[in-house]
Amino acid sequence: MYKFVVAALLLALSGLVSATDAERGRQKAAVCVACHGADGIAVIAEYPNLAGQKVKYLQLAIKAYRDGERRHAVMSPMAAGLSEQDIADIAAFYASLPPAGTSSSK
């Protein structure tokens, strides 16, 4: 019984951590909305929608821009100053949003 209670508690707390990361990510992504939209749906057709993307995909993409593995005139300098925690938070935020084309999106 004890193991079940501990497992349930850890599962519940993991949801709190994710929500906190997404909220911090929303705040850190304030500048991102100019291109990727407040709801993660791009306002310019040439830019990708980020809403609903997988956390790991977003983290890898942002790190690649930051580390110079991917180059883009806008994204490379935007990602240059991001810490690992910043990237995790921003990725959690965009992953928490409903993807484009779903009934929850605009």
- pLDDT by residue (tens digit) across 7-49? 444 444 444 445 559 999 999 999 999 999 999 999 999 999 9
Q: Which CATH architecture has domain 2-96?
A: Orthogonal Bundle (1.10)
pLDDT at 102 (0 to 100): 76
Side chain identity, residue 65: Y
CA-wise closest residue to 26 among 36, 38, 11, 12:
38
Cα-flanking dihedrals φ and ψ of residue 74, to 5°?
A: -95, -50
pLDDT at 71 (0 to 100): 98
pLDDT at 61 over 80: yes
- 41 neighbors 105 (Cβ within 8 angstroms): yes
Domain ranges of the chain: 2-96
Q: How confident is the model at residue 1 (pLDDT cuts 50, 70, 90)?
A: low
Q: How confident is the model at residue 67 (pLDDT cuts 50, 70, 90)?
A: very high
pLDDT at 13 (0 to 100): 45
Supply 32's token pair.
């991102």
The model's pTM is 0.77
